[in-house]
Every structure is written in C-alpha cells, then in structure tokens.
C-alpha cells in the first residue's frame, strides 16, 4: 500500500511553519476540497476539486487544551499558507457521502457557521485508510478533550473499531518520533487512549464473540428453526404459569388492589353525577345571567335614548323662552347686562341625569354637547349683538381728524382733552362678556361631564359667579362627582381636551363679529383710541392666561391683532402725510408737521394704559424716523438754505417736545438726535457766514497749516505768496473796516432766518466760532512770523462784545 501523507514529516514541518509554531500539529494529511449540500450530495466532480491540507492541532493553556482543525492551501509558489481554522468544540456532525462508491468523501458540520444555507465543503481522501485515520483522530480529540462525540452519518462504528484494531501496530510504530505524535490514533501524553477502548472495549468485544459462538441460530433450515421457536415459546409459557402458582400471595394483593380501585371508580362515578347536576344548574343560571343582561341592556338603551332625546329638546326650548322675551336683552336707551343665573340653575336640575347617561353610554354625550352648544350659541350671539348695537348708539363721541399731521394745527384744547368714550365703550364690552364667556365655558365643562383638570383647580371659585339662588349650591357640586356620588379625578387627556376645545368653539363662535364691529367703530371715530383699547385687551389677556377657556384667549388675541392693525394703518397714514408734505412745501422755515407731531404725541400719551407703552413707542420710532428723513430731503432741495432749514426745524422739534422728552425715553432719544443735528447744522451755517467775510484771512492760515506738514517752519516765509509782505496785505484787506465786516456777518445770519428767537443764540455761536478761528490764526502767525504786529484776541473779543 502506498505511503500515506499522514506519515509525511516534511508535510508536518511545512504545516508547523505555516502556522508559525503557535500550535502543536497532531496530524496533517492531503485532501481534495469540493462543494456539496447536507443530505443532498451532488454528483462528484461537479465542482473542480482543489488541493488542500487538513491539520489537527492543539494548544495548551494551563490545565486546558483546545483542539483545532486547520485548512491550509498552496500559494502560487507552492508554499503552504493558512486558509481557515475551525474549533473542534463546534464540530456537531460528521457525514460520509453515500454517493461516492469509494467512501472517501465526507463533510464536517460546525454549529457556529454564520450561514447554514451555504453549501459546506466536501473533503475527499485518497483511500479509506486515510479517511479512517483522519476521522479517528478527530473523534479521539473530541472524546479526550471535549468529553463528547459529534453526530456521525454513514459511518459504521464497529467497522471503524475493527479497522483501528487491525492498524494499531502500524500506528504505534510511528508514535516514537522526535517531532511529537505522528498520527491521530495515539498521542504521546500521560493518557495514552486508543479508539478501540473508546468505541468498543476489549471485554465487550470478547463477550460478543462468546455469545455469538454459543448460540447457534440455525436459520439455514426454516422448518427446523420454526419448530425450535415453538418449543421455546411453550417452555416460556410453562415457566410463566409455574411462576404464577408460586406467587399466590402476590396475586391476592393484586386482586385486593383491583377491588379497591373498583370502589374508587364507583365513588368517582357518584361524584361526577353530583357535579353534572350542579353544572346543569349553573348552565341554567348562566342562561338566565344572559337573559337578564339582555333585558338590562335593552332597558339601558331605552333609558339613554329617551333621556338624550328629552335633553336635546329641552335645551332649545329653554333658550327659545329667553330669546322670545325682549325685555331680557338690551333695548333703546337701556344697555342691559346678561344674567344667566336662572338659566344655569334650570340646567343643573339635570346634572345628575347627564352623569347617569355618561356612566351608561359615554358616546351619547357627543350629540347632547352639540345640541347644548348650538342652542346656547344662538342666545349668546343675540345678547352680544343687542348689547353692542345699543352700546354704539348710546355712546356720544366726537369724531377726531384722521389727518393729524396735515391741515391746520390742532388746538391745544383738542390735544390736551382726549375723548375716551369709545375706548370706555370697548372696555365695557369686555368687562361684561369676557367673564360671562369664561363662566359659560367653565359651567359647560362641568355640566357636560368633561374630565379635564384645567377647569377644576383646587381653589377654583364657584362656576356661577353671579348666582345667588341657594337652591343651586348643592347641584353645583354634582359636576365634580360621578353618578355613584364618588369624586371624579380629572385628567388632561389630549383627546378629551381636543373635544372640549371644539365644543367651546361651537358654543362661542360668531360672537367675535360684534366685538370686531365695536373695534372698527371705535377706530373709525378716533384712531388713537386703539392705544387704550390695546392696553385694555392686554390686561384681560394677561388675566386669562391661567384659565382654560381656549376660545376666550383666541378672541382676545384676535382683538389685539385687529387693534394693532388699525393703529398701524393710522401710523402709516401719518407717515404718508409727512412724505407727501415733501413735494408740496417750499424749503423755508419750520415745516408744519413738527409742531403737529408734538400735539399728536401729547394726545397719544393720554391714551396709554397698561402695556400699550410698547405700541406707542413703536409708533414714535416710525413717525419720527420718517420726519427726520423727510426733513433732510426737503433741506436738500435748495442747498443754499439747507442748513438754515435744518437748524430751524430741529430747534422747533426740541422746543415742542421738551416736556415729553423728559417723561418718555423713546422721545428723549430722538430729542438728543435732533440736538446733535441742530448743532451740526449751526456749525456748517456759521462757518459759511464767517468764510464769506474773512475768506482771505483764514485761507492764508490754511496754507500755513498745509506747509507745516511738508517743510520746516522757518522756510515758510520764503515761499511764494507766504512772505511777510503777503501777510501784511492779507491783514490789511481783511481787518480794515472790521466793524463793517462783523455787522455784515450779523446781517447775513439775520437775513434768511425765519425764527427770530434763534438769532441771539446763533449770533453767540458765530462770535465764539470766529474767536476760535482767529485765535488759531494768531498762534500760527506768532510761530512763523514772530515779529509781526497784529490785533490780539482780547482786542477782537472786546470789539465783538461792543457790537
């Protein structure tokens, strides 16, 4: 027989070199690798076989030993290199392929593979001896190290044991090598175990041979074998009867046990009969729990239907009685506050009925809530409409001009006496109906059995803040209990809150139109009453933030937005009037909108209430910014008089807003801005007047300053046009007839100035500016022309003071 590759020491050394000596090689053998499927082995040779080397290796760590199956492949240079490694502890199955007649092909199954659907590799050996040697080595490793054997398919264990027994001498001859164990049958360690002892022991094998030797089957002759079986059967039966006769006491015990069991069975039968009667009675009772339940359900449905129908008809009839009573609503000359105390007291009579309906059928509450909202919505809309109409008719308000910044200047009486009748009417509207709406919302929540905690604070006051009927006090608390008298623990269920908000919208929707009409009416009469109405709305809105009447908050938000829109429109109109003034005015004197704005601001301050300060400040910012921008444009239409126009108008702005600027920070900011612009315009105009009459003098000073940056000071007198003679000529032409020049300068300031009250301060600024410039000229002359004699600053100051 050809020498097996398992005995190839060169192959083993190559395997050890491939794994770099990290593990001990127990067995190495050449195989051919192909692909297959468990239980469905395909035709051999379907896939091209690849040469591989399988190596059984071990690794010791302390007292523990781990076994591995390594797959090595040949590189392009014919050198072995590791391909895959399997842990033998995961080996679960060894299957020999039945389609291979030689029996040399097998598959190894591992339970830790990621995908069991992938076809496992098939390993083909050269002969059965190599196959048996490898498989026996694997089985031995599993038995010795893991203490268990994998499942085997297609392998005869007895045949393997016999093969191992026959090949044991050959295996043991190869064990004593210098490089460790050479096969998988025997390993040189302290526990030298053989496959025969693991699979079939020597003693078991001898017993099997002896048994087979003493028992002659004789199955060659069918008749003789049949006769022998009959004789043996009769002998066994006779032996059984004899055994029974010898054990009479045992039989008696068995009979007694059977009798006892019979008695128990009889008792059990009686018990079962009793239980059957009881169960029959129970079935009859259950049938009767069902009939009664069906009857009760019918009664419940009938009660809920009739009670719901009664309440759906009751709510409209109750409201119709009040709507048909004209004395209940506001009439000509009489603004009447709505009173729902009696209405709520009548409704509370059926609060317990609603709670019973809810406990019986919660779905019936939806139509009842809608019927209530629809009926009471008609009443509330009628009350609001009649109240608003009579409120507008009874309010006597003088119409104020919308064009505050255009036309004749408003009189001081108009500016100082604000007519607040329209805003008072609006405030009365909110004072009457906002609390009414909140009360109606709270009453609706409790009356219609909504379980929301927002409407039931621990220290919440009574639902009806105006009720005085003592008969309704106890009924009022019914809303906080269920139909059985137990306290209801409210919760903030999102679905419940959404349903509540929808019902409140149906209850109060449409009333906002009359609030809008009152706002529009008030803004049309006096746009500036928007300021006070905005503050009133803010006050009510801040007071409702902790309340859960969602529609009321939305109504107040809408009113505030509508008022802000009206006021913004008024501010935009004012800005348009200012911008239009730019095209219609001649750039001289104070523009009309400066003093008119002072009257407008005074009037606006009288309307401020609460948090409307921001609204007014925003209006100030927009209007004044447009005023200043327009003023600059007007001034630029004639550059000759631009500074005069600016200083006069900025001065007028400061004079008209002096008192308000001390009290209003926003106007104080614009006051300071106007002051700075006034000073700049004054300085430009004064410099222009000074240079007209003393141009040569200060032009000579300017040339001196320019030359000091380029040449030394002592060389300046030697420059062209800068000699002492030139200086004397300049002084003679500029300072001779000085009193006349100063007088002309004064007349120049006075000539185009329309505001005479500004002339004294403007002349003082002009003299101071002239003295500053003249003082600077004297310093330059003293530095460059030290020996020249010219009038001093004191002499010039005395001259100006005397004029």
Divide the 803 residues of the chain into consecutive groups of 10 and give the mean pLDDT of each group: 72 88 88 70 57 91 88 88 90 88 88 70 89 89 87 81 72 37 36 42 68 55 76 79 71 85 91 90 87 88 88 88 75 74 88 87 86 90 88 74 51 51 86 88 86 52 38 45 48 77 87 90 88 87 63 88 91 87 68 87 82 85 90 83 86 89 90 90 85 79 81 79 79 76 80 79 83 82 79 78 72
What is the spatial distance between Cα 566 and Cα 619, in angstroms, rounded to a whole number? 12
Question: H-helix or E-strand containing 676?
Answer: helix 665-693
Q: What pLDDT does 182 receive?
A: 35
Helix (H, G, I), strand (E, B) or coil at 415: helix
Q: What pLDDT does 779 receive?
A: 82
Q: What pLDDT does 41 receive?
A: 45
β-pairing verdict for 80-87 and 91-96: unpaired
What is the spatial distance between Cα 120 and Cα 113, in angstroms, rounded to a whole number? 10
Q: CB burial class (10 A; 0-12, 13-18, 19+) of residue 647? A: buried
Name the β-bridge partners of 124.
Answer: 32, 105
Q: What pLDDT does 780 receive?
A: 81
What is the spatial distance between Cα 504 and Cα 512, in angstroms, rounded to a whole number? 13
Contact 487/481 with Cβ under 8 angstroms? yes
What is the spatial distance between Cα 133 and Cα 27, in angstroms, rounded to a whole number? 9
Q: What is the largest CA-CA distance in the chain?
A: 176
Query: DSSP E strands: which ranges in 148-216?
Result: 151-153
Torsion over CA: 660, 664, 667, 671 (sign): positive
Q: What pLDDT does 562 receive?
A: 92
Alpha helices in 190-221, H assignment, sequence order: 195-199, 202-214
Token pair for residue 620? Answer: 């100030």
Residue 74 phi, psi (nearest 5): -90, 135
CA 336 to chain centre: 49
Q: What pLDDT does 328 receive?
A: 72
Token pair for residue 84? Answer: 């895959």
Q: How many CA atoms lie within 13 A of 152 on its CB side?
A: 15
β-pairing verdict for 121-124 and 105-110: antiparallel
Helix (H, G, I), strand (E, B) or coil at 35: strand
**Closest residue by Cα to residue 624 from 603, 594, 588:** 594
Cα–Cα distance list, 666 to 347, 380, 624, 739 (Å)? 55, 43, 10, 46
Q: What pLDDT does 29 receive?
A: 92
Token pair for residue 237? Answer: 């039966």
CA 126 to chain centre: 70
**Closest residue by Cα to residue 729 from 707, 758, 696, 762:** 696
- Which contacts (CB < 8 Å, 24+ apart) does range 501-506 have? 501/550, 501/551, 503/369, 503/370, 503/373, 503/444, 503/448, 504/441, 504/444, 504/549, 504/550, 504/551, 505/551, 506/370, 506/373, 506/374, 506/377
Q: What pLDDT does 55 receive?
A: 92
């Amino acid at each position: 027989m050809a020498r097996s590759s398992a005995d190839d020491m060169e192959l083993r050394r190559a395997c050890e070199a491939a794994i770099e000596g990290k593990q001990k090689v127990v067995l190495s053998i050449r195989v051919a690798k192909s692909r297959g499927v468990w239980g469905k082995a395909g035709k051999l040779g379907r896939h091209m076989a690849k040469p591989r080397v399988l190596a059984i290796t071990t690794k010791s760590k302390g007292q523990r030993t781990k076994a591995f199956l390594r797959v090595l492949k040949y590189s392009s240079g014919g050198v072995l290199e590791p391909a895959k490694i399997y842990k033998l502890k995961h080996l679960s199955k060894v299957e020999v392929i039945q389609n291979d007649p030689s029996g040399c092909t097998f598959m190894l199954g591992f339970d830790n593979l990621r995908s069991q659907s992938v076809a496992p590799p098939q390993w083909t050996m050269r002969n059965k001896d190599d196959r048996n040697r490898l498989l026996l080595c694997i089985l031995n490793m599993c038995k010795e190290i893991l203490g268990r054997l994998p499942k085997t398919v297609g392998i005869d264990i007895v045949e393997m044991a016999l093969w191992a027994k026959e090949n044991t001498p050959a295996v043991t001859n190869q064990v004593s090598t210098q490089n460790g164990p050479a096969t998988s049958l025997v390993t040189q360690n302290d526990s030298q175990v053989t496959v025969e002892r693991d699979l079939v022991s020597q003693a078991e094998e001898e017993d099997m041979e002896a048994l087979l030797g003493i028992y002659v089957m004789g199955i060659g002759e069918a008749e003789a074998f049949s006769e022998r079986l009959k004789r043996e059967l009769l002998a066994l039966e006779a032996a059984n009867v004899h055994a029974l006769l010898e054990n009479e006491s045992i039989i008696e015990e068995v009979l007694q046990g059977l009798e006892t069991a019979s008695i128990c069975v009889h008792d059990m039968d009686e018990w079962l009969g009793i239980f059957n009667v009881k169960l029959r009675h129970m079935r009859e009772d259950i049938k009767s729990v069902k009939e009664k339940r069906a009857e009760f359900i019918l009664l419940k449905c009938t009660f809920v239907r009739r009670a719901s129908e009664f309440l759906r008809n009751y709510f409209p009839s109750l409201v119709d009685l009040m709507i048909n009573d004209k004395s209940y609503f506001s009439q000509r000359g009489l603004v009447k506050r709505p009173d729902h105390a009696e209405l709520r007291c009548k409704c509370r009579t059926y609060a317990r009925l609603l709670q019973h309906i809810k406990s019986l059928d919660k779905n019936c509450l939806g139509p009842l809530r809608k019927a209530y909202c629809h009926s009471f919505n008609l009443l509330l809309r009628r009350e609001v409409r009649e109240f608003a109409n009579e409120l507008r008719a009874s309010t006597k308000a003088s119409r104020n001009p919308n064009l505050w910044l255009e036309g004749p200047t408003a009189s001081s009486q108009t500016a100082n006496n604000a007519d607040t009748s329209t805003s008072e009417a609006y405030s009365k509207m909110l004072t009457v109906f906002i609390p009414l709406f909140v009360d109606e919302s709270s009453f609706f929540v409790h009356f219609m059995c909504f379980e929301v905690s927002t409407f039931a604070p621990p220290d919440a006051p009574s639902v009806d803040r105006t009720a005085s009927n003592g008969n309704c006090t106890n009924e009022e608390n019914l809303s906080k209990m269920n139909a059985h008298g137990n306290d209801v623990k409210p919760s903030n269920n999102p679905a419940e809150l959404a349903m509540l908000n929808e019902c409140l919208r149906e209850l109060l929707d449409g009333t906002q139109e009359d609030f809008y009409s009152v706002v529009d009416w008030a803004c049309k009469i006096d746009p500036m009453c928007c300021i006070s109405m905005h503050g009133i709305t803010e006050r009510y809105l801040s007071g409702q933030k902790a309340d859960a009447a969602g529609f009321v908050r939305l109504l107040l938000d809408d009113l505030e937005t509508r008022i802000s829109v009206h006021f913004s429109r008024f501010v935009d109109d004012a800005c348009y009037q200012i911008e239009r003034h730019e095209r219609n005015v001649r750039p001289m004197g104070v523009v009309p909108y400066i003093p008119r704005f002072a009257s407008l601001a005074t009037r606006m301050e009288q309307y401020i209430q609460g948090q409307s300060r921001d609204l007014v400040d925003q209006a100030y910012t927009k209007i004044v910014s447009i005023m200043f921008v327009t003023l600059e444009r007007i001034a630029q239409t004639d550059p000759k008089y631009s500074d005069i126009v600016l200083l006069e108008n900025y001065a007028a702005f400061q004079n008209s807003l002096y008192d308000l600027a001390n009290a209003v920070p926003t106007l104080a900011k614009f006051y300071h801005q106007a002051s700075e612009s006034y000073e700049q315009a004054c300085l430009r105009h004064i410099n222009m007047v000074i240079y007209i009459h003393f141009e040569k003098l200060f032009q000579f000073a300017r040339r001196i300053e320019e030359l000091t940056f380029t040449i030394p000071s002592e060389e300046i007198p030697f420059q062209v046009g800068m000699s002492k003679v030139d200086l004397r000529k300049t002084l003679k032409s500029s300072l001779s007839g000085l009193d006349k020049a100063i007088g002309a300068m004064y007349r120049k300031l006075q000539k185009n100035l329309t505001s005479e009250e500004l002339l004294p301060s403007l002349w003082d600024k002009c003299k101071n500016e002239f003295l500053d410039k003249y003082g600077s000229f004297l310093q330059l002359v003293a530095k460059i022309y030290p020996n020249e004699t010219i009038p001093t600053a004191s002499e010039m100051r005395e001259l100006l003071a005397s004029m």
